[in-house]
A and B are shown apart, each in its own frame.
Chain A
Amino acid sequence: MAEPILDIRDLKKSFGALKATDGVSLDLRPGEIHALIGPNGAGKSTLIHQIAGSLKPDSGEIRFEGRDVKPLDMAARARLGMGRTFQVSSLAPEFSALRNVMLAVQARQGSSFRFFKPVMHDRGLTEPAHEALARVGLSDRADVPAAELSHGERRQLEIAIALALGAKAFLLDEPMAGMGPEGSQALTRFLDRLRGEAPILLIEHDMDAVFALADRISVLVYGRIIATGSVDEIRNHPAVREAYLGDGA
């Protein structure tokens, strides 16, 4: 089997007495969508924060392409190729959609210490940014400030930014949240194709999307992964049914 791109071993993080992450091990292999599901408060976002570098784990290992990334901060991990979207959209609100993506393009080019050339006339920035916007279907909203985009559009924009980063793995924290059914379906089709480009660790509450997309599913409950397996294995797993899916699923 191919080497995992992202490999997490025995990760632990406590907030006081609360064990938010309690010995989590999981990996992300090339070409797959690995969905992480679990009830609210299970510690899914806390886990993403630790992977992306915005929270420091108490113990355990995080390897990205075989490299220990625990000493690296969020910016350094992003430069290695972690393309992350946020549960609550995190954008530069005054910048247009295009400029938000251009920021990722310039970061990828490693060129943020150029002081004189105007970015808006820099085709090396604008063209890749337009391409990324086109891929998520935001071309006609390129000049709109991020603050004026709709909720769903902001989520699309976050994905465009991750695309423009040339991410080697996507960490998507509830990309469907707040999207209408049509938006969710379009995004599902998009992510389905995206997995060929880079694997996706997908946190999602929309079970239709998860079951349609996931190659593997891990179930997180109270900071522990209680099961990992294929869609069918998870659907039929008794502990999962009890803890999470309920009898109707």
Chain B
Amino acid sequence: MTRETTISIVIVAGLLAAAFIAQAMGETFYITLATRMAILGLAATGLNIALGLGGLVSFGHAAFFGIGGYAAGILATHAFNSEPLLLGLPGTNQMIVIWIAGAIAAGLVAVLIGLISLRTSGVYFIMITLAFAQMIYYFAISWPAYGGEDGLSIYVRNAFPGANTLAPMSFFLICFGLLALGLVLFALIRASRFGAALQAGRQNETRLAAVGIAPFRVRLTAFVISAMMTALAGALFADLNRFVSPSMFSWHMSGELIVLIILGGVGRLAGPLAGAIVYVLFEFALGGITEHWQFFLGLILLAVVLFARGGVMGLLAGRARHG
């Protein structure tokens, strides 16, 4: 087992242990914090496939996060009001159906965005992904059917077979399970032939083409997988807050996901989760003292970029090795 794998398992297990300790102490608020870490970690792990492995700095992943969130909100609202959705299909309060619907919707949007944005690179790619996300953001604000600017409440947290999702620990375990699956998927992809092509494309696009692998298809596929995972996290985020609003689509959200990855370690297995843990802890610890906590987060980010390029994972597990 490589050192990175060991450290990743320790971080993941640590999150699980923290939740159980909070449960034992009766501190449900801390379970909610751990849940938030798991969800943001999953969202950023999704982005890490595109950004970390493929070098695709998407500044528009909030679009997919929000689509997942709105999938949960819209389906739950229709189920709650017993109103049929499109084409007479009913809404649902089943999380599994919501996840699938959210992921597919985000995947389809990612195909469209990817087909256009992946023809560019560098700053242009960043700007085009941002532009698409902002279009969706303004669409959500001006779409009155689902709350517009005010957002949409989910009155009862959606259901999962065999679990009382309103119990904080149950909901945490659902989120944690998906996070673990997401991390396994990331590890598998990174080690696979597809991952080899994707990472080679980040390092040297010409080399990839010169061996006969067209970079575009590889990147588009990665972008779609990445979007679907982030959407899944978005659906969980909606259920955590029992509320969705256009802010899930905002560029702050896209930026936050990138920050998580940089804090934790770009392209590293548990990097995004480590970033999410640090971020949420900061938000909690400093947010209680000053509402300007993001100023201090900025300082930390600056320190990471200047002195610890590999982020948390770089500090703990050393430089990335590609075998």
Contacts and interface: CB of A to CB of B under 8 A. Distances in A.
Interface string A95-125: 1101110111011100111111111101001
B296 to A, nearest CB: 33
Contacts of A117: 192-193
Interface in B188-212: 188-189, 191-197, 199-200, 203-204, 206-212
A54 B208 CA distance: 12
Given A91-B207, A92-B203, A114 B212 contact: no
B322 A91 contact: no
Helix, strand, loop or mixed for chain B's interface? helix
Nearest to B221: A113
A199 to B, nearest CB: 18
B213 interface: yes
B320 interface: yes
B323 interface: yes
A52 interface: yes
Nearest to A52: B210
Contacts of A104: 211
A198 to B, nearest CB: 15
B218 interface: yes
Given A102-B196, A112-B194, A115-B192, A94 B211 contact: no
B303 interface: no
Contact of B209 (A74, A92, A145): A74
B211 A161 contact: yes
Contacts of A100: 207
B219 to A, nearest CB: 12
Contacts of A107: 197, 211-213
| B194, B204, B210, B323 interface centre (most CB from chain A within 10 Å) | B210
B320 A103 contact: no
B195 to A, nearest CB: 8
A78 B212 contact: yes
Given A54-B206, A74-B210, A78-B212, A106 B323 contact: no
A145 B203 CA distance: 12
Contact of B191 (A54, A90, A119): A119
B224 to A, nearest CB: 12
A116 B194 CA distance: 9
Given A90-B204, A94-B320, A75 B212 contact: yes
A48 to B, nearest CB: 11
Given A99-B196, A113-B221, A119-B192, A90 B210 contact: yes
Contact of B200 (A73, A79, A95, A145): A95
Interface in A142-200: 143, 145, 161, 165
Contacts of B211: 78, 103-104, 107-108, 161, 165
A39 interface: no
A34 interface: no
A126 to B, nearest CB: 10
A224 interface: no
B213 A112 contact: yes
A118 B204 contact: no
A216 interface: no
A98 B215 CA distance: 20
Given A75-B210, A86-B210, A95-B200, 16 more contacts: A75-B208, A75-B215, A86-B206, A90-B206, A90-B210, A92-B203, A92-B204, A94-B320, A95-B196, A107-B197, A108-B211, A108-B212, A112-B196, A116-B188, A119-B192, A120-B191
Interface of B: 188-189, 191-197, 199-200, 203-204, 206-215, 218, 221, 320, 322-323
8 contacts: A75-B208, A92-B204, A95-B322, A103-B211, A107-B212, A111-B193, A115-B188, A125-B193
Lowest 4 CB-CB distances: which A-B pairs, in order?
Answer: A78-B212, A79-B212, A118-B191, A92-B203
